[in-house]
Chains A and B, each alone.
Chain A
Amino acid sequence: MNVKKERSAIVVSGLLIGVIAVGLVVLGNPANMGFCIACFLRDISGAVGLHQAAAVQYIRPEIPGLVLGSLAMALVKKEFSPRGGSAPISRFVLGFFVMIGCLMFLGCPFRMILRLAGGDGNALFGFAGFAVGILAGVFFLNKGYSLKRTYKQPAAEGGVLPAIMAVLLALLVFVPGLLHFTEAGGGPGALRAAVWVSLAAGLVVGALAQRTRLCMVGGIRDLVLFREPKLILGFAAIFLAALVANLCLGKFAPGFAEQPVAHTDGLWNALGMFLAGYGCVLLGGCPLRQLVLSGEGNADSAAAVLGLLVGAAFSHNFGLASSAAGPTDAGRVAVVIGIAVVSVIACANTFGKKQ
């Protein structure tokens, strides 16, 4: 596939993904939340009892769908490649704090695009912070940052996270009594498309993201590093398709106040996404990309996904997550700590090793 074909493929995929995201909202997901990796992992964390925030508990089938869709595509294309051993605990910690940042903003980079496409002006602050966070990460990349090489692993190691996802899906379908569910009218966790619709959407988007390497962080990173717009075209295509779909369906509501599952504190929207962008560059990709790489057998990305999941639980157990009322004091402190911890990891893996 030459560069021109790669660009075409990612634009077409982005357009399709944007439409699917708005379609999920039409079919029951929360507004501007057709997809949100952070929110959906947070809901899963609650569904299995890792936190007790009753408003956000549900096994979102989109997440297992993304991982299994990526796995299926990787198997078909003979790209399933179990590997790992590149600083898994550091990746877990980075994933943990990326989630703290996302839940300060109330969305992952994917939802940030969908919020922009829905007219949510608060996401502009998030986008600005996200871009600056990526630049901070790129600074360390250029100075020598590395979490060291990966090594080939047994197939079973690469299959662990996809297997966990399959089990979560099986619990939802066959033994839902074991899980926690947000009651009807009880919050965003109660707003959901039908299981099979969500699963199908996840499978399709996971497969497309595996083929195109779609990554919300990689788009800005590659533009800065190489002046290569390929990945950011996917980003732009999702925005464009979701914007047009929202306009056609009367779901575009420009403004700042009373946006769905959002708050209006610009500074902390920006700082939350700064932390997310910064951490994601050091991880090598956004939360969506971590799920997709896990589906390809990357155990290091699986460690990052588990960090995201545990970060979500901590966010709700310790009152770190924002709400429509705004950020909490504990959340502000956690974001500052997160920026410090991510900086320590960046410095230790840039300057604290033999060159």
Chain B
Amino acid sequence: MTCIATFYSHFGAIRFKKTCEGMGWPARLMPVPRNLSSSCGTCVRYEGECPAVIPEEVEQIAVLEGEGYRPLYRAENS
């Protein structure tokens, strides 16, 4: 499935992308889509699933469904 992960820092996104690629999940960096968040940071769009261990830099992960998103994970207290 196509997922979008958002982060607290640009570098967190760079590292997560490498993690995805290491697991064989195609991934790319892009600006956060407007309909997912009003933040203007960096996200990773990847073909995969919610990782078993989620790095602390990840703010949220959502799966793309049609024109919208279904949340899979959101960092505590965010």
Contacts and interface: CB of A to CB of B under 8 A. Distances in A.
B11 A151 contact: no
**Size bin of chain B's contact surface:** 20 to 34
Nearest to B29: A226
Contacts of B77: 151-152
Interface in A206-245: 210, 212-213, 215, 218, 222, 225-226, 228, 230-231
Contacts of A230: 31
B14 A142 contact: yes
A144 B10 CA distance: 7
A83 B41 CA distance: 15
B41 A284 contact: yes
Contact of B29 (A145, A152, A215, A225): A225
A42 interface: no
Nearest to A230: B31
Contact of B11 (A74, A145, A213): A145
**Residue among A74, A144, A296 with max Cβ neighbours from chain B (10 Å):** A144
B59 A149 contact: yes
Contacts of A296: 38
Contact of B30 (A81, A149, A210, A228): A228
B59 to A, nearest CB: 7
B9 interface: yes
Given A226-B31, A228-B30, A141 B10 contact: yes
Given A79-B38, A152-B77, A213-B40, A146 B29 contact: no
Interface in B29-66: 29-31, 33-35, 38, 40-42, 56-57, 59
A149 B10 contact: no
Contacts of A79: 38
A225 B58 CA distance: 19
A289 B29 CA distance: 22
Nearest to A281: B10
Contacts of B11: 141-146
Contacts of A226: 29-31, 42
Contacts of A317: none
Contacts of A149: 8, 56-57, 59, 75, 78
**Size bin of chain A's contact surface:** 35 or more
Contacts of B31: 222, 226, 228, 230-231
A91 B59 CA distance: 20
Given A151-B78, A284-B41, A213 B34 contact: yes
Contacts, number: 70
A143 B15 CA distance: 11
B45 to A, nearest CB: 11
Interface string A132-147: 0000000001111111
A230 B77 CA distance: 30
A285 B30 contact: no
B9 to A, nearest CB: 3
Contact of A145 (B10, B30, B59): B10
Nearest to B75: A149
A329 interface: no
Given A149-B59, A152-B77, A1 B38 contact: no
A85 B14 CA distance: 23
Contacts of A6: 33-34
Contacts of A147: 9
Given A151-B78, A213-B34, A228-B30, A142 B40 contact: no
Interface of B: 8-12, 14, 29-31, 33-35, 38, 40-42, 56-57, 59, 67, 75, 77-78
Given A1-B34, A1-B35, 9 more contacts: A1-B33, A142-B14, A152-B77, A213-B40, A226-B29, A226-B31, A228-B31, A285-B40, A289-B40
5 contacts: A143-B11, A146-B8, A213-B38, A226-B29, A226-B42
